[in-house]
């Protein structure tokens, strides 16, 4: 099997978990219990780790054409296969709970994959090849024929039942292979329902009815998103992607659907992004507000407050599990070859152990952003969290850390971390009248000003002619683009303007892309969208708009963005779909709409 490109995949979600389906009709990734659970289909990371392909027989032949698109503002994907014998459409979705509407989507998702075939013209022969391999490919299930022509796959902690509304399915030794014809006007539906082993049997699955219910659920949800601004179609679609990455039961937004898709093919910078990062918190909230998703923003805030708990002397982790788990220790799956032989494959993420001084700034900034919704006075837990985080910053801001890119070498005095410490204190001072007796705005303001003076003095490099990535360094780092975005310095400040120019000149990778640092092999989409914001704030709106359109143009044919882009080929790299890339798009579009509103 030729490895599909990252851009070949479409994204399905039930706001509990997600799946990736290729243009070739193969579902190569599905972790059915929740985003960060073990995969049942994992061919994304190894050819033998399971898949479910549904496509015309011989669909790999040259000249056969495929078109696909989401039903408007949903994550229900329709793929049309054009063959010499005729055309068929396959509609794929992860099922919504019956009756779910609006913000109920995902609260009790049944964990069912739906695949419905519709004959459009002629008569086309199709094949379904259902090859579950639970626990990230470690298990080959027993397959049992069931009454009614269904097949039950059982292995370890997993049971998956495959059924069809019009075909009798039969178990093979290690897969369920079915071939059938579909003529114009005919339909054939499939459903694969997951449940934990030893759980209650699933209700009878009805693919067509469940698909119609799922479309209605997404359409009802669409009505809650009423963005008014530049690039409305792009923003609304990115909002749908963020909704699809939201674990509805807690409100947490996963950084991406996948683990270990490489930043460079054959490289080893392959990390698990199926968790929720506090670093992204303020940016995510801003994006959700811009896209008119207030309920999601409020739930995300509640998740963060519960996950952090009472703040003590220990640093707050930069990321948590989707239900607030703190220990998400990393291990390497030696049995998996990795995407395009890019090893290691990692599950878990040891960045939770790092000291990340920017985290409190993101959280306090989020409270400041949402303060008008949180009541007056703020409730006790919120007041304690803000005061605890602010005091932690006051005590620790002079320490080095690993920086926002989570380096795995040594601690440094990263400029972006110091600036987010300034943000924490600055926003806490503004919130002080609502924080009660524990607030100490005079002391906090003094430390805030000390941080600012230190950054301005030690962050500037005469040799580079710019603010650089860390104190005492001459190396540029695109994270300094946050300085104008968070209000630390105006983009028109002479030194900040020189920094923006230097980042664009030195870290530009071609095609409008910006790398994180000079040795970074690929353009990082968030950095590119941050440059758009900086250019708007510097008064160069026309150039910013052109850069925005180039960056947004790296989306695949169904509007999905991964983490990075190969500057030479335009190929997507890194985990996908990447929340930060879609967050960056939304925030940059809003900056282009209204530069004066944060």
Which two three-digit tokens encode residue 316?
A: 């707050």
Q: Is the pLDDT of residue 378 over 90?
A: no
Residues 6+ apart with CB under 8 A from 270: 259, 260, 261, 262, 263, 338, 339, 342, 343, 344, 345, 346
DSSP 268: S
pLDDT (average), residues 161-169: 97
Residues 6+ apart with CB under 8 A from 574: 6, 256, 261, 262, 263, 522, 562, 563, 564
The answer to whether residues 356 and 418 touch, using CB atoms and an 8 Å cutoff, is no
Per-position DSSP letters for 72-119, written without gaps between them = TTSS-EEEEEEETTEEEEEEEEEPPPTT--GGGTTTT---EEEEEEEE
How crowded is residue 510: how many other Cβ atoms within 10 Å of its Cβ?
A: 9
Please, how many CA atoms are within 13 Å of residue 166, restricted to the half-sphere of its CB? Answer: 13
Across the chain, mean pLDDT equals 94
- What 3-state DSSP class applies to 155? strand
DSSP 33: S
Whether the CA torsion 248, 19, 199, 99 is positive or negative: it is: positive
What is the C-alpha to C-alpha distance for residues 28 and 45, in angstroms, rounded to an integer? Answer: 8
Confidence of residue 561 (pLDDT cuts 50, 70, 90): very high
DSSP 461: E
DSSP 324: -
The answer to whether residues 401 and 355 touch, using CB atoms and an 8 Å cutoff, is yes
What does the pLDDT read at residue 548? 98
pLDDT (average), residues 511-521: 95
The answer to whether residues 191 and 163 touch, using CB atoms and an 8 Å cutoff, is yes
What does the pLDDT read at residue 272? 98
Q: Which helix (H) or strand (E) holds 164?
A: strand 158-164
DSSP 401: B
105 vs 353: which has the higher pLDDT: 353
Please, how many CA atoms are within 13 Å of residue 350, restricted to the half-sphere of its CB? Answer: 8
What is the C-alpha to C-alpha distance for residues 109 and 16, in angstroms, rounded to an integer? Answer: 7
The answer to whether residues 126 and 55 touch, using CB atoms and an 8 Å cutoff, is yes
Q: Is the pLDDT of residue 74 over 70?
A: yes
Which two three-digit tokens encode residue 317?
A: 């982790």
Confidence of residue 102 (pLDDT cuts 50, 70, 90): low
Confidence of residue 299 (pLDDT cuts 50, 70, 90): confident
Which two three-digit tokens encode residue 460?
A: 């500037």
The candidate with the shortest Cα–Cα distance to 44, out of 85, 8, 80, 76, is 8
pLDDT in tens, 252-263: 999 999 999 999
Please, how many CA atoms are within 13 Å of residue 32, restricted to the half-sphere of its CB? Answer: 27
Please, how many CA atoms are within 13 Å of residue 189, restricted to the half-sphere of its CB? Answer: 14
pLDDT in tens, 220-234: 877 777 788 999 999
Q: Is the peptide bond before 344 cis (omega within 30 degrees of 0)?
A: yes
pLDDT (average), residues 477-481: 98
pTM over 0.95: yes
103 vs 82: which has the higher pLDDT: 82
What does the pLDDT read at residue 1? 57
What does the pLDDT read at residue 103? 67
DSSP 257: S
β-bridge partners, 52: 27, 130
Q: What is the dihedral of CA 342, 343, 347, 351, to 10 degrees?
A: -100
The answer to whether residues 285 and 295 touch, using CB atoms and an 8 Å cutoff, is no
C-alpha 215, offset from chain centre: 22
The candidate with the shortest Cα–Cα distance to 136, out of 41, 240, 245, is 41
Question: Domains in the chain and their CATH numbers?
Answer: 6-220 (2.70.98)
Share of the chain above pLDDT 70, in %: 98
Residues present in the chain in total: 598
Which two three-digit tokens encode residue 514?
A: 């910006």
C-alpha 319, offset from chain centre: 13
Phi-psi region of 560 (alpha: psi -120 to 50; beta: other; left: phi over 0): beta
Q: Is the peptide bond before 65 cis (omega within 30 degrees of 0)?
A: no
pLDDT in tens, 14-44: 999 999 999 999 999 999 999 999 999 999 9
Give how far Cα 115 sits from Cα of 52, 56, 154, 192, 436, Å. 10, 14, 21, 9, 55
Give how far Cα 319 sits from Cα of 264, 304, 324, 444, 514, Å. 23, 10, 9, 26, 25
466-467 and 112-131 beta bridge pairing: unpaired
Confidence of residue 394 (pLDDT cuts 50, 70, 90): very high
51-56 and 276-277 beta bridge pairing: unpaired
Q: Is the pLDDT of residue 276 over 70?
A: yes
- What 3-state DSSP class applies to 53? strand
What does the pLDDT read at residue 591? 97
pLDDT in tens, 323-359: 999 999 999 999 999 999 999 999 999 999 999 999 9
What is the C-alpha to C-alpha distance for residues 592 and 329, in angstroms, rounded to an integer? Answer: 40
What does the pLDDT read at residue 539? 97
The answer to whether residues 51 and 27 touch, using CB atoms and an 8 Å cutoff, is yes
What is the C-alpha to C-alpha distance for residues 198 and 155, in angstroms, rounded to an integer? Answer: 11
What does the pLDDT read at residue 314? 87
18-22 and 9-13 beta bridge pairing: antiparallel
Which two three-digit tokens encode residue 411?
A: 């601690």
pLDDT (average), residues 173-200: 94
What does the pLDDT read at residue 143? 98
């Amino acid at each position: 099997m030729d490895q599909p490109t990252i851009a070949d995949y479409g994204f399905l979600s039930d706001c509990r978990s997600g799946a990736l389906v290729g243009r070739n009709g193969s579902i190569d990734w599905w972790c059915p219990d929740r985003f960060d659970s073990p995969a049942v289909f994992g061919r994304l990371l190894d050819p033998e780790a399971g898949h479910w392909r549904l496509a015309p027989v011989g669909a790999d032949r040259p000249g056969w054409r495929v078109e696909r698109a989401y039903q408007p503002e949903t994550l229900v994907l329709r793929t049309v296969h054009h063959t010499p014998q005729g055309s068929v459409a396959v509609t794929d979705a992860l099922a919504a709970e019956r009756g779910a509407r609006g913000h109920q989507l995902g609260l009790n998702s049944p964990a069912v994959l739906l695949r419905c075939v519709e004959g459009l013209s002629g008569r086309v022969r199709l094949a379904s090849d259902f090859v579950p391999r639970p626990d990230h490919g470690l298990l080959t299930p027993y397959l049992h024929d069931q009454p009614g022509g269904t097949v039950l796959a059982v292995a370890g902690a997993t049971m998956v039942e495959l059924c069809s509304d019009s075909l009798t399915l039969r178990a093979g030794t290690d897969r369920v292979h079915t071939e059938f014809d579909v003529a114009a006007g005919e339909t054939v539906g499939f459903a694969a329902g997951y449940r934990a082993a030893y759980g209650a049997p699933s209700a009878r699955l009805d693919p067509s009815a469940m698909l119609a219910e799922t479309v209605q659920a997404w359409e009802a949800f669409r009505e809650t998103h009423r963005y008014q601004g530049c690039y409305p179609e792009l923003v609304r679609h990115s909002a749908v992607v963020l909704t699809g990455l939201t674990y509805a039961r807690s409100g947490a937004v996963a950084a991406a659907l996948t683990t270990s898709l490489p930043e460079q093919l054959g490289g080893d910078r392959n990390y698990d992004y199926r968790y929720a990062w506090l670093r992204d918190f303020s940016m995510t909230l801003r994006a959700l507000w811009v896209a008119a998703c207030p309920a999601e923003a409020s739930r995300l805030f509640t998740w963060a407050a519960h996950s952090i708990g009472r703040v003590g002397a220990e640093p707050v982790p930069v990321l948590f599990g989707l239900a607030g788990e703190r220990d998400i220790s990393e291990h390497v799956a030696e049995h998996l070859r990795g995407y395009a032989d890019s090893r290691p494959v990692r599950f878990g993420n040891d960045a939770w152990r790092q000291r990340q001084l920017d985290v409190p700034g993101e959280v306090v900034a989020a409270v400041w952003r949402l303060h008008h919704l949180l009541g007056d006075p703020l409730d006790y837990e919120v007041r304690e969290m803000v005061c605890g985080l602010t005091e932690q910053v006051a005590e620790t801001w002079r320490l080095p850390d690993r920086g926002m890119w989570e380096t795995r070498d040594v601690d440094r005095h990263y400029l972006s971390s110091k600036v987010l410490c300034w943000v924490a204190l600055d926003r806490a001072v503004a919130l002080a009248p609502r924080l009660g007796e524990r607030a100490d705005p005079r002391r906090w303001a003094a430390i805030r000003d000390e941080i600012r003076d230190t950054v301005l003095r030690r962050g500037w490099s005469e040799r580079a002619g710019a603010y650089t990535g860390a104190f005492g360094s001459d190396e540029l780092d695109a994270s300094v683009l946050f300085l104008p975005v968070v209000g630390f310095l105006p983009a028109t400040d002479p030194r900040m303007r020189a920094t923006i120019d230097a980042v664009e000149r030195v870290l530009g990778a071609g095609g409008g892309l910006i790398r994180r640092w000079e040795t970074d092999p690929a353009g990082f989409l968030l950095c590119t969208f941050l440059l758009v914001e900086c250019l708007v704030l510097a008064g160069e709106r026309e150039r910013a708009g052109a850069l925005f359109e180039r960056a947004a143009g790296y989306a695949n044919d169904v509007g999905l963005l991964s983490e990075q882009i190969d500057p030479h080929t335009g190929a997507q790299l890194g985990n996908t779909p990447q929340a930060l890339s879609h967050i960056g798009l939304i925030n940059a579009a809003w900056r282009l709409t209204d530069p004066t509103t944060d």
